[in-house]
């Protein structure tokens, strides 16, 4: 078959390139927004990385970041005796303000009071007294490095290590448990109890036993906290994300429609010639739809490739923006771009219907 | 006696209504036999092109009948007319109407694609037609890069691609110099004779009277006169010229090549 659609598009190379760039930009915009959304949704995964399976908290707690809880420290001892419990770690957690040069930063500080009998894989969670572990984002925003000092609640703490992570919503810091108790002023209390389930024990069974042992508390798995966190973040972001994704699709669709329509209108006489020499409606529609698809597919492919590159750049250049570009999202946006391309050819197809082949006799 | 290839019976065409009603063609009848060239002449606005459009199934007459190769195309449904135009009729336009983004070869090939002939078969057939039209050195030239005469020859090859029974030409020499015009008419004349097809040509060009078997003169949409003594010295001169002979021979070969894979109605 003569590649008429391709030839029509290539006859105006500059416009063709701009159309592809337009669609690519729209797809890029959509994918960046979606990947930011996915990134924020994943922020709550932080809870699942801590050394425990079940969190015991005061009733009405959503997750440690969004609400606090107070429990008697002695409850930790009671829980260690529950069947199926391997370890119980009191967790101190609250938002605190840091004095950084020139500005103040808010940080979510945690301290894990790890019993001497428990060994954690990472030292991040239990810094020595007088030191603090901060995430990379906080270090960047506070302009501090390892060995520098930070004033936390009036007390200087030396940065002992910097762990990866952090984002523009919240930064995390780990304190020594004894320091946390002193700084937070809660000697006989803790905020949460993080329980590890013994190998072979079922989380559900242990959770039920925890309720029995400590009536008046509630339990959440780390996964539930992560989900609860994601739900709260999403509730705030979803509307914005929806609007931006919608704008992206409208822009992309408009670019494809405009390109195809212009290419059709400009070649109206030629479509009239094809009609006059016997081209069926289907033959002509196929040309127009192919034009749309070429612009849509090339634009979407370029957009996806740009999004992959952009999310990598963002990850390294602007780490506070967490981006997670899932292949399924990229494939979905690509597919929607193709559907948009088909839909965008509706108006040019209608235009072709109205072309009168008798016009071609006019000199 | 063979029936005429084209029968136009009391065809009329009106545009508008009430006070804006215009009768572009009124009660025109004529026939064209296989191998005949019918020339329609008349001043601008006399209804020549409208009549040609109706004969080609592009416009539907307000009244009357057009029968092409035994098929009453005026009784066909609208969606059936494209098939008539691609299989029974070939069009040659005054302004050539080639697709500017395509090469000469592709301009002919697309007419075959439209009729469902695709791939290498279509390509080879288009190549053969253009070679026979003397354009073997211009196959891959963009339509824009061709001279007016070459464009019209590509248009003629495109019109012949699906081996139509009836060739309709609207002012085919109007945009050509005298030599190119003579070439095109020699090809057209040679085609009708060699293939037993018919041609209806609309033109202002007085030279064409001499290659026509019949001349119809339209005035105000009505048939004002008919001449049937068309072919004269110029026709003989054209027919006897080496170029015309070569053209006619070439077209016979094209006709044979096309016939081998012709589409059946």
pLDDT digits (tens, 9 = 90+) for B201-219: 998 877 788 788 899 999 9
Measured between CB atoms, which of B90, B91, B99 is closest to A270? Answer: B99
Measured between CB atoms, which of A7, A279, A361 is closest to B53? Answer: A361
A296 backbone dihedrals φ, ψ, rounded to 5°: -65, -45
Q: Give domain status of residue B202, yes or no.
A: yes
Interface contact flag, A278 B84, Cβ < 8 Å: yes
- A-chain residues near B165 (CB < 8 A): none
Judgement on whether residues A127 and A73 belong to the same structural domain of the protein: yes
For the CA atoms of B119, B78, B52, B83, what is the dihedral angle to 10 degrees?
A: 20
Q: Give domain status of residue A67, yes or no.
A: yes
Q: Write down the mean pLDDT value for chain B.
A: 84
Judgement on whether residues A135 and A282 belong to the same structural domain of the protein: no
Q: What is the pLDDT of residues A248-266, one digit of tens each?
A: 888 888 888 888 888 788 8
Q: What is the CATH number of the domain that holds B93?
A: 3.40.50.300
Q: Tell me the ipTM for this assembly.
A: 0.81
Q: How many domains does chain A have?
A: 2
Q: Give domain status of residue B134, yes or no.
A: yes
Q: Write down the mean pLDDT value for chain A.
A: 87
Judgement on whether residues A291 and A350 belong to the same structural domain of the protein: yes
Q: What is the pLDDT of residues A68-121, one digit of tens each?
A: 899 999 999 899 999 999 999 999 999 888 766 667 788 889 999 988 877 776
Those residues with Cβ within 8 angstroms of residue A165's Cβ, 6 or more apart along the chain or in another chain: A46, A135, A136, A137, A172
Helix crossing, A327-344 with A13-42: angle to 10°? Answer: 140
Q: Give domain status of residue A222, yes or no.
A: no
Tokens of A354: 């109205």
Strand-pair partners of B216: B40, B226
pLDDT beyond 70 at B246: no
Q: What is the pLDDT of residue A335?
A: 94
Q: What is the pLDDT of residue B239?
A: 44
pLDDT beyond 80 at B238: no
Mean pLDDT over A337-344 rounds to 89
pLDDT beyond 90 at A164: no
Mean pLDDT over B41-52 rounds to 91
Q: Give domain status of residue B265, yes or no.
A: no
Band the pLDDT of A67: cuts 50, 70, 90. Answer: confident
Q: What is the pLDDT of residue A122?
A: 67
Q: What is the pLDDT of residue B240?
A: 43
Q: What is the pLDDT of residue B233?
A: 37
Q: What is the pLDDT of residue B48?
A: 92
- B-chain residues near A283 (CB < 8 A): 113-114
Which residue range(s) make up the domain with A176?
59-216
Q: Give domain status of residue A310, yes or no.
A: yes
Strand-pair partners of B215: B39, B227
Judgement on whether residues A77 and A124 belong to the same structural domain of the protein: yes
Least trusted range by pLDDT, from A38-42, A279-283, A329-333, B110-114: A38-42
Those residues with Cβ within 8 angstroms of residue B98's Cβ, 6 or more apart along the chain or in another chain: B104, B107, B143, B146, B151, B154, B155, B158
Judgement on whether residues A162 and A66 belong to the same structural domain of the protein: yes
Of chain A, the percentage scoring pLDDT greater than 90 comes to 39
Q: Give domain status of residue A187, yes or no.
A: yes
pLDDT beyond 50 at B260: no
pLDDT beyond 50 at B38: yes
Question: Choosing among B59, B82, B166, which should be mutated to test the A contact, i.e. which has the most A CBs within 10 A?
Answer: B82
Interface of A with B in 252-271 (CB under 8 A): 267, 269-270
pLDDT beyond 80 at B241: no
Q: What is the pLDDT of residue A191?
A: 93
Which residue range(s) make up the domain with B148?
6-260
Residue A37 vs residues A236, A324, A358, B57, B245: alpha-carbon distances, Å: 11, 8, 54, 59, 76
Residue that finishes a domain, picked among A164, A186, A216: A216
Interface contact flag, A270 B106, Cβ < 8 Å: no
Judgement on whether residues A208 and A288 belong to the same structural domain of the protein: no
Least trusted range by pLDDT, from A122-126, B47-51, B160-164: A122-126
Residue that finishes a domain, picked among A182, A216, A250: A216
Q: Give domain status of residue A225, yes or no.
A: no
- Check if A358 contacts B (Cβ < 8 Å): yes
The residue that leads in pLDDT, B183 or A11, is: A11
Interface contact flag, B102 A7, Cβ < 8 Å: yes
Mean pLDDT over A260-281 rounds to 88
Residues B113, B158: Cα–Cα separation, whole Å: 11
Q: What is the pLDDT of residue A309?
A: 95
Measured between CB atoms, which of B83, B87, B110 is closest to A2? Answer: B110
Mean pLDDT over B171-177 rounds to 85
Judgement on whether residues A108 and A202 belong to the same structural domain of the protein: yes
Mean pLDDT over B194-206 rounds to 85
- A-chain residues near B114 (CB < 8 A): 274, 277-280, 283
Residues A127, A160: Cα–Cα separation, whole Å: 7
Judgement on whether residues A134 and A260 belong to the same structural domain of the protein: no
Measured between CB atoms, which of B82, B94, B101 is closest to A7? Answer: B101
Judgement on whether residues A195 and A292 belong to the same structural domain of the protein: no
Tokens of B245: 């002979």
Strand-pair partners of B89: B166
- Check if A363 contacts B (Cβ < 8 Å): yes
Of chain B, the percentage scoring pLDDT greater than 70 comes to 85
Return the half-sphere exposure (C-beta side, CA atoms, 13 A cut-off) of residue A273.
23
The residue that leads in pLDDT, B264 or B122, is: B122
Mean pLDDT over A136-156 rounds to 86
Q: What is the pLDDT of residue A121?
A: 67
Q: How far is B86 from chain A (nearest CA, A)?
A: 4
Interface of A with B in 273-302 (CB under 8 A): 273-281, 283
Interface contact flag, B102 A278, Cβ < 8 Å: no
Nearest to A223 by CA among A57, A42, A87: A42
Q: Do A352 and A285 form a contact (C-beta atoms < 8 A)?
A: yes
pLDDT beyond 90 at B2: no
Q: What is the pLDDT of residue B259?
A: 44
Residues A146, A138: Cα–Cα separation, whole Å: 12
- Check if A353 contacts B (Cβ < 8 Å): no
Q: What is the pLDDT of residue B195?
A: 75
The residue that leads in pLDDT, B229 or B76, is: B76
- Check if A361 contacts B (Cβ < 8 Å): yes
Q: Give domain status of residue A207, yes or no.
A: yes
Q: How far is A276 from chain B (nearest CA, A)?
A: 7
Least trusted range by pLDDT, from A165-169, B36-40, B102-106, B107-111: A165-169
Measured between CB atoms, which of B53, B91, B101 is closest to A277? Answer: B91
Q: How many domains does chain B have?
A: 1
- B-chain residues near A4 (CB < 8 A): 99, 101-102, 106, 110
Band the pLDDT of B200: cuts 50, 70, 90. Answer: very high
Chain B residues contacting A via beta carbons under 8 Å: 49, 52-53, 56, 58-59, 79, 82-87, 89-91, 93-95, 97, 99-102, 106, 109-111, 113-115, 118-119, 158-159, 162, 170-171, 174
Q: Give domain status of residue A226, yes or no.
A: no
Q: Give domain status of residue A52, yes or no.
A: no
Strand-pair partners of A162: A134
pLDDT beyond 90 at A303: yes
Judgement on whether residues A211 and A71 belong to the same structural domain of the protein: yes
Interface contact flag, A363 B94, Cβ < 8 Å: yes
Q: Give domain status of residue B1, yes or no.
A: no
Strand order in the sheet with B222-227: B89-92, B166-170, B198-202, B37-41, B214-219, B222-227
Q: What is the pLDDT of residue B193?
A: 80
Residues B130, B161: Cα–Cα separation, whole Å: 10
DSSP B173-206: TTTS-HHHHHHHHHHHHHHHHHH--EEEEE---G
Tokens of B135: 């354009």
- Check if A359 contacts B (Cβ < 8 Å): no
Residue that finishes a domain, picked among A216, A250, A283: A216
Q: What is the pLDDT of residues B69-98, one digit of tens each?
A: 999 999 999 889 999 999 999 999 888 999
Interface contact flag, A280 B118, Cβ < 8 Å: no
């Amino acid at each position: 078959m003569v590649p008429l659609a391709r030839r029509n598009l290539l006859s105006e190379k500059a416009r063709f390139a701009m159309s592809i760039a337009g669609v690519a930009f729209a797809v890029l915009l959509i994918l960046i927004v979606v990947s930011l959304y996915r990134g924020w949704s994943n922020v709550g995964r932080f809870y699942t990385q801590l050394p425990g399976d079940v969190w015991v908290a005061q009733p009405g707690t959503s997750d440690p970041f969004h609400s606090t809880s107070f429990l008697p420290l002695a409850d930790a001892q009671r829980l260690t005796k529950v069947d199926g419990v391997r370890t119980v770690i009191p967790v101190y957690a609250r938002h605190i303000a840091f004095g950084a040069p020139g500005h103040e930063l808010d940080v979510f500080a945690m301290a894990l009071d790890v019993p001497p009998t428990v060994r954690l894989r990472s030292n991040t969670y239990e810094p020595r007294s007088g030191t603090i572990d901060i995430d990379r984002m906080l270090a960047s925003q506070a302009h501090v490095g390892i060995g520098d000092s930070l004033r936390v609640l009036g007390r200087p703490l030396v940065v002992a290590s910097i762990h990866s992570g952090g984002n523009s919503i919240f930064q995390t810091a780990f304190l020594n448990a004894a320091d946390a108790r002193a700084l937070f002023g809660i000697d006989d209390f803790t905020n949460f109890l993080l329980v590890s389930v013994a190998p072979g024990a079922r989380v559900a069974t242990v959770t039920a036993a925890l309720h029995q042992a400590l009536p008046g508390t509630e339990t959440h798995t780390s996964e539930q906290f992560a989900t609860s966190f994601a739900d709260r973040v999403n509730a705030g972001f979803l509307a914005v994300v929806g609007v931006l994704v919608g704008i992206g699709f409208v822009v992309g669709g408009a670019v494809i429609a405009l390109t195809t329509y212009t290419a059709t209108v400009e070649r109206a006489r030629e479509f009239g010639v094809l009609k006059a020499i016997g081209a069926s409606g289907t033959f002509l529609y196929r040309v127009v739809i192919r034009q749309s698809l070429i612009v849509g597919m090339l634009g979407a492919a370029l957009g996806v490739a740009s999004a992959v590159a952009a999310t990598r750049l963002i990850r390294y250049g602007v780490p506070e923006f967490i981006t997670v570009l899932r292949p399924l999202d990229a494939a979905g946006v690509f597919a929607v771009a193709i559907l948009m391309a088909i839909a965008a050819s509706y108006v040019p197809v209608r235009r072709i219907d109205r072309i009168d082949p008798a016009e071609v006799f006019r000199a | 006696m063979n029936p005429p290839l084209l029968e136009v019976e009391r065809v009329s065409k009106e545009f508008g209504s009430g006070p804006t009603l215009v009768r572009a063609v009124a009660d025109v009848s004529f026939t064209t036999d296989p191998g005949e060239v019918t020339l329609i002449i008349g001043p601008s606005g006399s209804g020549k092109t409208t009549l040609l459009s109706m004969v080609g199934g592009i416009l539907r007459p307000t009244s009357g009948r057009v029968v092409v190769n035994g098929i009453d195309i005026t009784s066909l449904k609208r969606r059936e007319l494209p098939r008539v135009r691609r299989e029974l009729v070939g069009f040659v336009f005054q302004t050539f109407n080639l697709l500017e983004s395509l090469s000469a070869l592709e301009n002919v090939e697309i007419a075959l694609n439209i009729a469902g002939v695709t791939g290498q078969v279509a390509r080879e057939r288009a190549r053969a037609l253009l070679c026979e039209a003397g354009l073997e050195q211009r196959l891959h030239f963009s339509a824009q890069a061709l001279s007016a005469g070459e464009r019209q020859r590509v248009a003629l090859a495109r019109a012949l691609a699906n081996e139509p029974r009836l060739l309709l030409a609207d002012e085919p020499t109007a945009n050509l110099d005298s030599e190119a015009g003579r070439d095109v008419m020699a090809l057209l004349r040679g085609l009708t004779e060699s293939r037993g097809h018919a041609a209806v040509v609309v033109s202002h060009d007085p030279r064409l009277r001499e290659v026509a078997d019949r001349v119809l003169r339209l005035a105000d949409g009505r048939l004002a006169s008919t001449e049937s003594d068309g072919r004269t010295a110029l026709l003989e001169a054209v027919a006897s010229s080496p170029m015309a002979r070569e053209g006619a021979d070439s077209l016979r070969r094209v006709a044979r090549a096309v016939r081998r894979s012709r589409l059946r109605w």
